[in-house]
Every structure is written in structure tokens, then in C-alpha cells.
Amino acid sequence: MTYIVKNTHTISDELLEELKLVSVSTASHTLVEMGYRNAYMQGIMPLSFPEGQESAVGRAVTLRFVPLREDLVKQQYDTLPESPHRVALESITPNDVLVIDTGSHMETGVVGDIFTRRLRYLGGQAIIVDGCIRDLQRVKAVNFPVLARGVHGGAIPRSLMSVGFNEPIRCGGVSVVPGDIILVDRDGAVAIPPQCVEDIVKIARAHDELEERWIKMKLDEGASLHTHYPPNAEAKIEFENWKKENGYA
């Protein structure tokens, strides 16, 4: 039996822009509180990130690799006009993020500077690889967000073959469905169900206000972490009173 897994929700580009103001840490924590405990991609960190850019966000376009099998890859190239990874790359539209599942393979680099340049030109926002990239210094010169587990000098034909795109994949131990909203910063990446984005933005605003405008102020005044980070019931009442007194309520 085949189970079709897909996203049925869409969000606007304007909401994506608002999500850029939310950190990966805040989004990950908020998702846990909303009941989504497995959204942060483990072991995948930024290897290239433009200086001065805080974050990147976009809709997931997925790509899947499996270990190379010589007869199958020959058959693929004999019957298909292009390999799935090239088709996936050329399908990128503005505000997409390419998310690549290699099965955490660490013996081949699947993205280099040429693919990165093309994705940037097409309007993509980031590349995430559960595996390795190659040509790291050249990738950095493209000045584009690229996250991966590591670097390997070998190219795709060494040990991998692409077999599908825009299908559910695994990346960093997280299920990623095409159309999921991907948020990345220097802490890594998180996959967000589209229907959760609006609530995350609202909760994050409240969180940031709580943390930056009040908790830090109270800590500077000598408040204890035990009572104010996170705030206990009495501290929450104190915070609500502070908001009213200062016109934030």
C-alpha cells in the first residue's frame, strides 16, 4: 500500500519575511511546546553563511540520493534526459530551499560552487545537505547559506546516485515534506509545518519581548534565574503588570 504524504497548507511570502526575524533556537523550542518534538536537524551546521545575514527561510524542495549501484545508474542515464538532482536544481523558484537526503553519507560531496551559484541565481534561499559538500572555499565565495554535515572532495559519481525529488525525505533525523518551511541560521536548521508558521511568529514576538525587554532588565536588577528564567507563576504576573504599566498590554 502506498501512502501519499504532502502538505496541504501554503503561506505567503510576507509571512516568510516575518519568520526571518525568529531564531532557529526559538522556533525549535516553540515547536516542542506546540507538540512537534522532532523538527531541528541534528548534526547539520552552516559551512557557508553570508557575513551580516542573520537567517534564511524558504519552502522545501527535496532531493534524495542512495548508494551507487552501477547497473541502475547506467539505466538511469540511458532512459532519463537528466538525472533527478539536475531536475531538482532547475525546478528551484524564488524562496525555495533545497534539502538533500544522502542517508548521512560522508564519502561524497553532492553540492559544490557551480550548483550553489545556479540555485542562488534562481532565487533559492539556502541549501541543506544531510551529508557532505565539496569545493568549500569556492562555495564560501558564492556568499550563500549552505549547511551540511561535512566536506568531502569526491563528486557524486564516486558513490551516490540521485533517485527522486519533491518527495518526503529524512534530513538530520527529521522528516521533511516538500513545501515544509525551512528556517536556517548559524545554529542550524529547523523544518516547520506550514500551518505552524503564523503561530510561531506570534509566539516568538512575545518571547523576544519577554526576554529582551523584561527578563534581562530583571536579571540586571539582581533577579534569580530560579524565578525569572523561565519565569515562574509569580514572575509572569509581575511581567503582565510591567507590560500594562509601560503600555505594552
CATH number of residue 160's parent domain: 3.50.30.40
Count of domains for the chain: 2
pLDDT at 98: 99
In Å, what is the CA distance from 202 to each residue of 103, 158, 216?
A: 35, 46, 20
Q: Examine residue 217 and state whether it is found in any structural domain, yes or no.
A: yes
Confidence band for 1, pLDDT divided at 50, 70 and 90:
very low
Q: Examine residue 54 and state whether it is found in any structural domain, yes or no.
A: yes
pLDDT at 79: 76
Q: Are residues 102 and 204 in the same domain?
A: no
Q: Examine residue 161 and state whether it is found in any structural domain, yes or no.
A: yes
Whole-prediction pTM: 0.87
Q: What is the CA radius of gyration of the chain?
A: 21
Q: Are residues 179 and 62 in the same domain?
A: yes
Q: Rounded mean pLDDT of 241-247? A: 85
Q: Rounded mean pLDDT of 193-208? A: 91
Q: In the predicted model, what is the mean pLDDT of the chain?
A: 93
**Residue 113 reports pLDDT greater than 50:** yes
**Residue 11 reports pLDDT greater than 80:** yes
Q: Examine residue 85 and state whether it is found in any structural domain, yes or no.
A: yes
DSSP secondary structure letters along 136-176: HHHHHHH---EEEEEE-S--GGGTEEEEEESS-EEETTEEE
**Residue 120 reports pLDDT greater than 60:** yes
Q: Rounded mean pLDDT of 100-126? A: 98
Q: Are residues 166 and 233 in the same domain?
A: no
Q: Are residues 45 and 117 in the same domain?
A: yes
Q: Are residues 208 and 144 in the same domain?
A: no
Q: Are residues 58 and 142 in the same domain?
A: yes
**Residue 229 reports pLDDT greater than 80:** yes
Q: Examine residue 152 and state whether it is found in any structural domain, yes or no.
A: yes
Q: Are residues 186 and 104 in the same domain?
A: yes
24: cell is: 532557529
Q: Rounded mean pLDDT of 154-182? A: 96
Q: Examine residue 120 and state whether it is found in any structural domain, yes or no.
A: yes
Domain boundary among 168, 192, 216: 192
Domain boundary among 192, 221, 236: 192
pLDDT digits (tens, 9 = 90+) for 60-91: 999 999 999 988 888 877 777 788 899 999 99
Confidence band for 249, pLDDT divided at 50, 70 and 90:
low
134, 248, 128: which is closest to 190 by C-alpha? 128
Q: Are residues 173 and 204 in the same domain?
A: no
DSSP state, residue 214: I
Length of the chain: 249
Q: Examine residue 153 and state whether it is found in any structural domain, yes or no.
A: yes
Q: How many CB atoms sit inside 10 A of residue 192's CB? A: 24
Q: Rounded mean pLDDT of 15-29? A: 95
CA-to-CA distance for 206 and 249, rounded, in angstroms? 11
pLDDT digits (tens, 9 = 90+) for 32-53: 999 999 999 999 999 999 999 9
Domain that holds residue 222: 200-245
In Å, what is the CA distance from 185 to each residue of 71, 91, 120, 169, 190?
A: 40, 24, 17, 21, 9
CA-to-CA distance for 154 and 108, rounded, in angstroms? 5
